[in-house]
Each structure stands twice: as structure tokens, then as C-alpha cells.
Amino acid sequence: MPRPPIERSVGGVPRATLFKPAGVPGRELEQLSLAVDELEAIRLVDLESLSHEQAASAMGVSRQTVGRVLERGRAKVAEALVSGKAILIGGGQYRVDPRQLCCDACGVVWAAGPNADPRAECPSCGSEDVGTCWDPAGHCGEGHRRRGGGRGRGAGGAEVAGPGCQGRGNGQGRGRP
């Protein structure tokens, strides 16, 4: 008998659970199911620009598992976009863990609720320059600054953002336009 899948840690459940092509009634569309953990892997690697190792740490699984989950999720999204299918988000083996947010202005790190707005304000200084802290210990970015070498994303050195959060990322993918 195969081993049961390990629950993946996700930062929150998606607010929107159905995406479909515009102008086509939903009843006429074929639906593809995208698991919550597949969406989380896509969010961490493609939107937040984390490496597979960093995403694995955030999700509580191995790097290889993140790679497999990411590959499945990307294939489903690509099929839906190319073939004009709807994407229904839900299901999968996951648990919702609160996110650590970090203020770039003052360096404060705090735990946010599972459905916290990524454009939150810092509770200490009120700054809107807030992002997710991916280091479970709250040392945002210490030893985690390197991007997946050769992927063409982000650039070199660490940026120091304050006493509690030290260069957690390249500023991309915080849900801001």
C-alpha cells in the first residue's frame, strides 16, 4: 500500500476559486481542477520568485516534491489557457499556516492571519511596504537571498531592510501592480 501524501503547508486559501475565459458561459466550458498546494507552489516559485528549496521549506516538503507539484500545476494552467478551459481551485493535501509578514521600512516581523491581505500595513509604522517573510525563524532573508542561479530573475546582493527583516527578497510579487 502506498504511503499517504504529506500535508503541504500553504499561506492561505485563495479568495477566487474559479477562473474562466471571458465571454463563454461556464456551463459550456470544460473544467480543470487545480489543487490548493499546486497553486501555492506556483505562487511561491513564479510569483514570489523563491527557489525550489525555499518553496519546499515554506511548504514543509522536499525540493523534489515541490518540483513535482509545480510541474503538475503549471501543466494544468497551461492547458486551461491554451485550450480555453476553466480552472477550479480546491482540494489537495494541505494545511493553512499563518504567514510571517515583514516591513521593509522598519523591519518589524509579525504573524498575519491565513487570509491576510498581501498589501497590509505595518502595525508598527503604518508603512505599506510590506511583504512575506519566508524564513520560519523570522530572519527574513538571512541566508536565503540567492535566487535560482541562471533563471534570469532578480539580481545579486542582499538588501538590508531593517533590524528584524534583512533582505527578504527582490521586491517582486507582493500582489501590487
Same domain, 144 and 82: no
Taking the whole predicted model, whether its pTM rises above 0.75 is answered as no
Mean pLDDT of 121-143: 69
Please, what is the average pLDDT of the chain? 76
Domain assignment of residue 3, yes or no: no
Domain assignment of residue 109, yes or no: yes
Element (H, E) at 54: helix 52-59
pLDDT score of 120: 75
Domain assignment of residue 167, yes or no: yes
Same domain, 91 and 104: no
How far is it, in rounded angstroms, from Cα 171 to Cα 115? 21
At which of 95, 117, 149 does a domain end?
95
Domain assignment of residue 2, yes or no: no
Q: Which domain holds residue 131?
A: 98-177
Same domain, 102 and 69: no
- CB under 8 Å to 79, separation ≥6 — which residues? 32, 85
Written as nine digits, the cell of 62 is 522536499
pLDDT score of 169: 43
Residue 116: pLDDT over 90: no
Would you say 73 and 41 are in contact if contact means Cβ atoms under 8 Å apart? Answer: yes
Same domain, 91 and 159: no
Same domain, 75 and 31: yes
Same domain, 88 and 23: yes
More confident residue, 106 or 176: 106
Domain assignment of residue 1, yes or no: no
Count of the separate structural domains present in the chain: 2
Same domain, 69 and 133: no
Q: What percent of the chain has pLDDT over 90?
A: 36
At which of 62, 95, 128 does a domain end?
95
Mean pLDDT of 23-41: 93
How far is it, in rounded angstroms, from Cα 177 to Cα 53? 27
Beta bridge partners of 18: 88
Same domain, 36 and 91: yes
pLDDT score of 174: 40
pLDDT single digits (tens) 41-76: 999 999 989 999 999 998 999 999 999 999 999 999
Same domain, 123 and 175: yes
Mean pLDDT of 154-168: 38
pLDDT score of 175: 40
Mean pLDDT of 107-115: 75
